[in-house]
Chain A
């Protein structure tokens, strides 16, 4: 087989073992020259019909460029996602009742409800992110480094928790901290007063509690993954040298956990900015976030231009932060 002269390049694509049976079959009993011709044939002849399978396959991948295969999914995404988004941006610049391109923006930015919603959204997202980071770090620390029987089950539970929709938390909080719920009931039973002290559920604090509860597992998962790769010998050494647990956490564990914390935290920040279900189920009139405002303007008021303006602002904030998350995540290797 080695005797076959091959046009450059193709030879590298051939694996000798695959060719032998083909040639034997093509030229049974013939001498070396016949084999020679049979092998040289496909290389010289334009017809591909005689090309054995093994030689055809690598050739084909080279004739169809790889980027061509990525066209169909990109085209689908462009049609159902990018084109609609472009329409939203376009509509935000062209108010239905005429006027200049920035009229809708000006009127939305002037409105009190938008400014309040923007402030509430940013404040809630930042607060929930900090809460999730602190809570997630403490819980993951105990699961990973002070293991107890059932710690595995707890991390399984966290995975299950992630697959539930967010609004279930608000629904549950209604029973726990609602005006006639568990906490207030316990309080009135114990203290004998007519009314319980918990009325925060329809305020932003209720949304904050629900968001911290729902999003903390999103921080715990990358943290637990990072902790499982941490060399426990480091901890033993630090501890045998007399370091107290607080010092070990600060000087050994925290530096290792920083990338995971950054990646998880920025993901949670983006998800909190976009959270809708929790706020909708709270049902409070005075808690409006940007996604709520989009829904209210579009569906309840049928003011699509204003909805598109708010949507563009919301996209700008969260896509910018998401880009940051990708950069941080890349650097952290998460």
Chain B
């Protein structure tokens, strides 16, 4: 307890509310409110409606939702595979090798995602690999962007892993593949699912690289929200944004349930 007087404490809490509520709570509240309105000129919105949602889960928006979900699912599974593999391989290397492998896999975080989009566009718009205009180029870019996060959280978990478990398994005659499959991966499962959730959320909200790459028939939700608001349809865009937030939260919730079940095992 830093502040002992009652008035001082209330002053601190007042300051917190004054900063926190308008900056962090209000924006989300406003987006949700706007998604249920038809008009907002003045202090408060008017014209309560659910029509924005009716159109947000139909036609192009529904297609954008499935596009985003498929992209995020494929990208996070791919990223999880590559990231986990790299993290496991890095853990067996010596100090210097491990550090350079970690740095290599963190590099996509440092490179602006717009530039990742540009690079992928430049590289795969010409033979031998022609992906421009297909859905796989979007999935590829998302995978590159989220692999770093999968790698980071899995390798942090590997460091915390007690080596006694795998040593015991190996000493009892288990082959490396068996140790990996039955001992290491189950122990890593909580962080694997956490990493999957993180990758999924990041991919669901990815806009920068996608803006560089998306073909007309593979438009993810963030791009859809941008085109809606760019045309001036702010309320429809808010409804789609709420759909995006809800879908992300539901997936994160489902993933965290897997995690708790795994830790109780």
Residues of A at the B interface (CB closer than 8 Å) are 15, 17-18, 52-54, 56-58, 60-61, 66-67, 69-70, 72-74, 76-77, 80-81, 83-85, 87-88, 91, 135, 138-139, 141-143, 145-148, 154, 157-158, 160-161, 163-169, 171-176, 180-182, 185-186, 188-189, 212-213, 216-217, 232, 235, 239, 245, 248-249, 270, 273-274, 276-277, 280-281, 283, 290-291, 294-295, 298-299, 304, 307-308, 311, 314-315, 318-319, 321-323, 326
A88-B122, A326-B103 are contacts. A139–B30 as well, Cβ < 8 Å?
no
> Would A308 and B118 count as touching, CB distance under 8 A?
yes
A52-B173, A60-B176, A298-B121 are contacts. A171–B82 as well, Cβ < 8 Å?
no
Among residues of B, the one whose C-beta sits closest to the C-beta of A90 is B122
> Would B28 and A172 count as touching, CB distance under 8 A?
yes
Enumerate chain B residues within 8 angstroms of A182, measured Cβ to Cβ.
30, 40, 43-44
Which of B45, B170, B204 is the one whose CB lies under 8 Å from A57? B170
A280 to B202, CA, bound (A): 18
> Would B119 and A60 count as touching, CB distance under 8 A?
no
Enumerate chain B residues within 8 angstroms of A212, measured Cβ to Cβ.
23
> Would B175 and A73 count as touching, CB distance under 8 A?
no
Further contacts, 17 of them, CB under 8 A, given A57-B173, A73-B85, A77-B105: A57-B175, A70-B90, A70-B92, A84-B120, A85-B111, A146-B1, A148-B13, A164-B245, A167-B222, A175-B33, A175-B40, A175-B45, A185-B42, A248-B2, A274-B112, A283-B230, A318-B111
> Would A157 and B24 count as touching, CB distance under 8 A?
yes
> Would A168 and B116 count as touching, CB distance under 8 A?
no
In B41-97, the 8 Å CB interface with A consists of: 41-45, 82-83, 85-86, 88-90, 92-93, 97
> Would A84 and B119 count as touching, CB distance under 8 A?
yes
Instruction: Kindly provide the distance from the CB of B114 to the nearest chain A CB, expressed in whole angstroms.
Output: 4
Residue of A154, A165, A311 most packed against chain B (CB within 10 A): A165
> Would B208 and A291 count as touching, CB distance under 8 A?
yes
Which of A139, A245, A281, A311 is the one whose CB lies under 8 Å from B226? A281
A171-B31, A189-B42, A298-B212 are contacts. A58–B170 as well, Cβ < 8 Å?
yes
A163 to B198, CA, bound (A): 7
> Would B110 and A163 count as touching, CB distance under 8 A?
no
A168-B27, A168-B31, A185-B43 are contacts. A135–B1 as well, Cβ < 8 Å?
no
Which of B12, B30, B44, B173 is the one whose CB lies under 8 Å from A172? B30
> Would B1 and A66 count as touching, CB distance under 8 A?
no
Enumerate chain B residues within 8 angstroms of A232, measured Cβ to Cβ.
1
Judged by a CB distance under 8 angstroms, whether B9 is at the interface is yes
A316 to B234, CA, bound (A): 37
A178 to B4, CA, bound (A): 42
In B232-257, the 8 Å CB interface with A consists of: 234, 237-238, 241, 244-245, 248-249, 252
Enumerate chain B residues within 8 angstroms of A148, measured Cβ to Cβ.
13, 16
A176-B30, A298-B118, A304-B122 are contacts. A318–B225 as well, Cβ < 8 Å?
no
> Would B31 and A295 count as touching, CB distance under 8 A?
no
Instruction: Kindly provide the distance from the CB of B99 to the nearest chain A CB, expressed in whole angstroms.
Output: 9
Instruction: Kindly provide the distance from the CB of A144 to the nearest chain B CB, expressed in whole angstroms.
Output: 9
Enumerate chain B residues within 8 angstroms of A213, measured Cβ to Cβ.
23-24, 27
> Would B82 and A165 count as touching, CB distance under 8 A?
no
Enumerate chain A residues within 8 angstroms of B25, measured Cβ to Cβ.
157
Interface string of B7-25 (1 = CB under 8 A from A): 0110011011001100111
> Would B241 and A70 count as touching, CB distance under 8 A?
no
